[in-house]
């Protein structure tokens, strides 16, 4: 049942800086751990820079994983939850996941070592279920997922139109929505309050 | 409510389903506080659910050790927090994978791990950062595709490994695949394999000369042989026992030069019984079969096994499996075809030269998918399953070199296969070359890691990618294998260029190092182990590789192999190369030496374990340890020259110098007299457990005590070699103990507000 879906992920694609070495993010993530820069319990950094089109450089947390991710040969900033996330509906949980993601993106924007070398496009994203039991890639699950995604996007971009592509030729892949907003994307700072929930 | 248990109930064999349900119940009971920590730890280990670094809730972040405040304080074993991420090891008998299994592994890595499947040096798959609560469902999803994680860890029969080209190889006596499979499932859960003091590893090889099976490093190794008996050709195996790497490597001993195929299962059962009955149980450091075989001698061990064999009640499976052996065959999905034209694609030609192997069967090849550091992403794994379906079907295997091979690929399909692999980022050339660096997880995820083996491997991978094709072919063919500690999971003993992680206290700080092991033999099933030369700072390992390979190219005689070169020039000459790179600049001049590869945290060994406070640290120990290293090196030279008594005595002196160094931290007046050092060391460092390694316990101290008690015993070259290995480990443990004490002193200083650092104190003491 999609109502039980908590393992959710959002990836914002890079606008620039896709050629920045993945290993350059390792010290940044270690600093975040040292200085408790995020709400999650940050555990360690995992380096997969040697794997083509892989999870890149990861910041492993208890609640979820953060990554400069290159899956599909498209670099972006990824966060996905591994445990229950706050929210009564999938849309609210997506907001929680998005909040965590944007909190990290904001840090990257402020980070001296990265801010002039890369930028993210918050108007191009992937939203996915990372749970093939509660959110499988079936017509039924997709029908239930769609309104939740739209509800979340209406909250994230209340005054902007967007396109969503749910198509994926490979049925084994995760339930996924590719999103592109029509207008210029907002900054992480602007988007963050829209995703904040009382329980965060 | 939807659950994997219900969803997959029709697809999971009843016995597997019951086992996993029982494990899920254990988890529930543990959460209710009704299961003892140790018992639960062994329970989960036997299901492949392993601990991971920082699972005690402590992590050094480069500044200090901090607590990881997980949501609960519940534990899943002694000093192991429930919510801390763990590693799930998945046994893949003989490395055999189907496309369906690959897809399942891809999904599990994505949903429960970090979207990476890691292939190990024993043909397993490992997933990292897995929560214990997720493991029952993970196991159910594996069971639904015919995989069990049972006995993947713990004191049990581990994954049965086998040559990845078995059945298609030119050199084999016959295909050992169905035998390896039969052995794996016969021993799995067998009542006679449930009471071991330590793990038990089995390997099969189709021939004696090639590396593939690595039988020499296994508790039980079987090499295929045929023999004519009464005019009829019989299949059987040359059977070896008591091999193993680990801190002290042992080469396997011949148990029987020909065991008929009808007898391999009962004989393995008899060996298991003898091991369970007589193997060490309390001292884990001496509990592997290799120690029992060494203690009893191979003749007595053989006698006991033969006696045990006579007492076994008959089991139909002993020969029942032979029906499956006779029926065993692999079916290609494409008709055989040859490459009809020479390709102009230079990249393809390079890949084909290094990554394909022409099968015995005309028109087919084995294609190796070279995985950097053994890693493949979920997406790649899924796509690779599709590629396999198209070109080779379920004829897929993992390898001990951390790669995947596709077997039965029609030669005519190789260009198309290459193109598809290239699209997936899986067409890297250089399989089996110096570029194909093997590494254990090391400090990335392993609790025992001392230095970053994967960090170093990643760095070498990046540097070699653009250079290795320009190397002389003699260099291209070398093997690099790296372990994060002395436990040898990276199989460094078998490499031309082997490295294992150690630490050194230098300039008042801890510096990551790798000990160099040169000239190991990968061929002949891991025929001989390399020579330990000395340690170089982690950051200088790439320079060391350049220098030693350069020296080899310049000074080799004709077509001399690297192993022969290493043997010929000897340790003294090799040590010079190590010594040229041994120095470390002061921190103020170059701080990069004080952190490890791809880990900018200031290096610390405190994540491995912290002992009790030993009070003030003085610098004489640096001299003592240096002296111990020198003596150890001289002992190695004496061994090399055949002066066994001298080697033994010098090695013991090295141990006394190291132990004396530690003793003098507390009692400066103790001379280097064994009769004073040993009891003082026992009293001050062993009885107090101050010397104890968090995971190895007092094992290394026992090497000293044993050597002290057994002096003047009969010496053989092999015996002295083992004593030298133990000496080296004891000295390493002394370095580690000293480093722990220094760090503790630093921490104490911080907590009491003392402005003088341990480093300064060391310097002051040295000046004094």
**ipTM of the complex in this document:** 0.97
Contact residues on chain A for B101, CB-CB shorter than 8 A: none
Q: Tell me how crowded residue B234 is: count the other CB atoms within 10 A of its CB.
A: 14
Residue B153 placed within a domain? no
Quote the number of domains for chain B. 5
Cα–Cα nearest to B371, from B425, B320, B422, B330 = B425
Mean pLDDT for all residues in chain B = 91
Is residue B308 domain-shared with residue B395, that is, in the same domain? no
Same domain for B759 and B715:
yes
**Which stretch, A181-185, B346-350, B507-511, B722-726, has highest mean pLDDT?**
B346-350
Q: How many angstroms from the chain centroid is the CA of residue B308? A: 31
* HSE-up (13 A, CA, CB side) for residue B727: 30
Least confidently predicted of A95-109, B266-280, B739-753: B739-753
Q: What percentage of residues in chain B have a pLDDT greater than 70? A: 96
**Per residue in B617-626, pLDDT tens?**
335 687 788 7
Tell whether A172 is within 8 A of chain B (Cβ). yes
C-alpha–C-alpha distance, residues B449 and B452, integer Å: 7
Confidence bin at B670 (pLDDT 50/70/90)? confident
**Distance in angstroms (rounded) separating the CA atoms of residues B634 and B419:** 54
Domain CATH for B676: 1.20.120.330
Say whether A170 and B375 touch across the interface (CB within 8 A): no
Number of Cα atoms under 13 Å in the Cβ half of residue B286: 18
What three-state secondary structure class fits A81?
Answer: strand
What is the extent of the structural domain holding B16?
4-143
Of residues B53, B454, B598, nearest to A26 (C-beta)? B598
CATH assignment at residue B599: 3.30.413.10
Q: Which two tokens stand for residue B276?
A: 């369970």
Residue B640's pLDDT is: 83
Confidence of residue B757 (pLDDT cuts 50, 70, 90): very low
| Mean pLDDT, residues A1-17 | 96
Q: Could B377 and A71 be called an inter-chain contact, meaning their C-beta atoms sit closer than 8 Å?
A: yes
Residue A194: burial class (beta carbons within 10 Å; 0-12, 13-18, 19+): middle
Helix (H) / strand (E) containing B572: helix B562-580
Residue with token string 């999938």: A90
B157 within a domain of the structure (yes/no): no
pLDDT of residue B619: 55
- Domain A2-195 architecture: 2-Layer Sandwich (3.30)
pLDDT in tens, B387-434: 999 999 999 999 999 999 999 999 999 999 999 999 999 999 999 999
B466, pLDDT greater than 90: no
The CATH code of the domain that includes B416 is 3.30.70.3340
Say how far apart CA A122 and CA B463 lie, in whole Å. Answer: 35
Task: Supply angle C-alpha B605, B608, B610, rounded to 5.
Answer: 85
Q: Are residues B53 and A44, on separate chains, in Cβ contact within 8 Å? A: yes
Residues B654 and B715 in one domain: yes
Residue B174 sits in the same domain as residue B313: yes
| Residues of B in Cβ contact (< 8 Å) with A4 | 1-2
Contact B377 A53 (CB under 8 A): yes
Phi, psi of A2 (to 5 degrees): -65, -20
Q: Does residue B343 surpass a pLDDT of 90?
A: no
- Specify whether B599 is located in the same domain as B616: no
Closest C-alpha to B109, from B92, B144, B91, B134: B134
DSSP state of A175: P
Within this chain, do residues B416 and B449 fall inside the same structural domain, yes or no?
Answer: no
Domain co-membership, B400 together with B449: no
- Structural domain contains residue B34: yes
DSSP one-letter code for B119: E
**Is A23–B598 a contact, with Cβ atoms under 8 angstroms apart?**
yes
Given a cut of 80, whether residue B496 has pLDDT beyond it is: yes
Best of A11, A48, A113 to mutate (most B CBs within 10 Å, chain B): A48
The pLDDT of residue B365 is above 50? yes
pLDDT at B523 over 90: no
């Amino acid at each position: 049942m999609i109502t039980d879906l908590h393992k959710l992920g959002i990836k914002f694609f890079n606008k620039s800086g896709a050629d920045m070495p993945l290993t350059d993010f390792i010290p940044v993530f270690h600093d975040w751990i040292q200085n408790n820069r995020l709400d999650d319990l940050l555990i360690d950094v995992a380096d997969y820079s040697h794997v083509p089109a892989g999870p890149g450089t990861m910041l492993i947390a208890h609640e979820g994983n953060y990554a400069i991710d290159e899956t599909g040969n498209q670099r972006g900033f990824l966060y996905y939850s591994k445990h229950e996330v706050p929210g009564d509906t999938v849309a609210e949980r997506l907001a929680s996941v998005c909040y965590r993601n944007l909190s990290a993106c904001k840090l990257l924007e402020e980070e001296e070592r990265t801010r002039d070398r890369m930028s993210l496009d918050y108007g191009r994203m992937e939203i996915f279920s990372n749970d093939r039991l509660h959110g499988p890639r079936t017509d039924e699950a997709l029908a239930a997922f769609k309104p939740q995604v739209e509800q979340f996007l209406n909250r994230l971009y209340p005054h902007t139109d967007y396109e969503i592509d749910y198509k994926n030729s490979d049925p084994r892949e995760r339930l996924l929505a590719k999103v592109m907003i029509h207008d210029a994307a907002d900054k992480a700072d602007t988007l963050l309050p829209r995703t904040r929930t009382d329980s965060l | 409510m939807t659950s994997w248990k219900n969803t997959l109930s029709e697809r999971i064999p009843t016995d597997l389903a019951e086992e996993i349900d029982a494990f899920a119940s254990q988890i529930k009971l543990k959460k209710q506080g009704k299961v003892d920590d140790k018992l639960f730890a062994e329970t989960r280990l036997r299901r492949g659910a392993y601990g991971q670094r920082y699972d005690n809730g402590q992590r050094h972040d480069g500044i200090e050790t901090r607590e990881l405040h997980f949501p609960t304080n519940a534990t899943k074993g002694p000093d192991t927090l429930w919510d801390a991420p763990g590693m799930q090891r998945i046994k893949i008998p003989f490395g055999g994978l189907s496309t369906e299994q690959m897809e399942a592994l891809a999904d599990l890595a994505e949903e429960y791990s970090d979207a990476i499947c890691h292939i190990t040096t024993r043909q397993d798959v490992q997933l990292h950062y897995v929560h214990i609560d997720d493991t029952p469902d993970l196991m159910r999803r594996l069971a639904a595709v015919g995989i069990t994680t049972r006995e993947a860890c713990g004191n049990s029969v581990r994954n049965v490994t086998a040559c990845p080209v078995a059945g298609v190889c030119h050199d084999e006596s016959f295909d050992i695949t169905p035998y390896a499979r039969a052995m794996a499932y016969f021993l799995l859960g067998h009542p006679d394999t449930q009471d071991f003091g330590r793990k038990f590893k089995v390997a099969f090889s189709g021939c004696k000369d090639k590396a593939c099976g690595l039988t020499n490093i296994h508790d039980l190794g079987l090499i295929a042989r045929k023999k004519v008996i009464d005019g009829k050709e019989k299949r059987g195996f040359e059977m070896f026992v008591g091999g193993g790497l680990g801190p002290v490597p042992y080469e396997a001993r011949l148990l029987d030069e020909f065991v008929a195929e009808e007898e391999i299962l009962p004989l393995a059962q008899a060996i298991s019984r003898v091991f369970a009955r007589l193997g060490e149980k309390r001292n884990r450091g001496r509990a592997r079969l290799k120690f029992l075989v060494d203690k009893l001698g191979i003749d007595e061990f053989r006698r006991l096994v033969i006696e045990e064999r006579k007492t076994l009640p008959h089991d139909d499976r002993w020969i029942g499996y032979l029906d499956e052996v006779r029926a065993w065959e692999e079916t290609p999905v494409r008709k055989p075809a040859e490459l009809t034209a020479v390709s102009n694609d230079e990249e393809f030609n390079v890949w084909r030269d290094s990554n394909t192997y022409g099968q015995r069967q005309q028109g087919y090849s084995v294609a190796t998918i070279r995985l950097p550091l053994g890693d493949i992403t979920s997406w790649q794994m899924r796509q690779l399953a599709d590629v396999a379906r198209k070109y080779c079907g379920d004829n897929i295997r993992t390898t001990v070199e951390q790669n995947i091979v596709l077997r039965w690929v029609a030669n005519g399909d190789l260009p198309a296969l290459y193109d598809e692999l290239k699209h997936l980022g899986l067409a890297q050339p250089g399989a089996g070359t110096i570029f194909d660096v093997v590494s254990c997880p090391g400090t990335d995820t392993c609790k025992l890691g001392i230095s970053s083996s994967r960090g170093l491997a990643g760095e070498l991978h990046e540097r070699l990618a653009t250079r290795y094709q320009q190397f002389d072919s003699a260099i291209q063919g070398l093997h690099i294998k790296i372990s994060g500690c002395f436990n040898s999971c990276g199989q460094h003993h078998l490499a031309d260029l082997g490295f294992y992680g150690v630490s050194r206290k230098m300039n008042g700080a801890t510096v990551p190092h790798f000990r160099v092991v040169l000239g190991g033999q990968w061929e002949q099933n891991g025929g001989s182990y390399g020579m330990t030369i000395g340690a170089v700072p982690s950051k200088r390992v790439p320079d060391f590789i350049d220098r030693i390979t350069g020296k080899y190219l310049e000074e080799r005689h004709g077509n001399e192999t690297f192993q022969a070169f290493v043997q010929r020039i000897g340790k003294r000459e090799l040590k010079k190369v190590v010594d040229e790179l041994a120095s470390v600049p002061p921190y103020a001049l170059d701080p990069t030496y004080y952190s490890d590869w791809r880990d900018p945290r200031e290096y610390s060994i405190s994540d491995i374990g912290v002992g009790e406070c030993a009070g003030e640290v003085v610098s004489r120990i640096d001299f003592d340890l240096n002296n111990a290293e020198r003596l150890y090196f001289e002992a190695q030279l004496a061994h090399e020259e055949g002066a066994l008594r001298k080697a033994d005595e010098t090695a013991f002196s090295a141990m006394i110098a190291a132990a004396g160094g530690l003793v003098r931290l507390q009692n400066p007046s103790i001379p280097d007299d064994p009769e004073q050092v040993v009891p003082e060391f026992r009293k001050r460092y062993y009885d107090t457990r101050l010397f104890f390694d968090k995971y190895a316990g007092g094992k290394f101290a026992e090497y000293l005590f044993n050597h002290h008690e057994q002096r003047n015993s009969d010496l053989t070259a092999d015996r002295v070699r083992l004593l030298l290995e133990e000496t080296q480990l004891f000295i390493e443990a002394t370095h580690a103990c000293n480093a722990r004490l220094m760090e503790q002193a630093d921490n104490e200083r911080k907590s009491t507000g003392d402005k003088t650092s341990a480093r300064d104190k060391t310097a002051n003491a040295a000046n004094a």
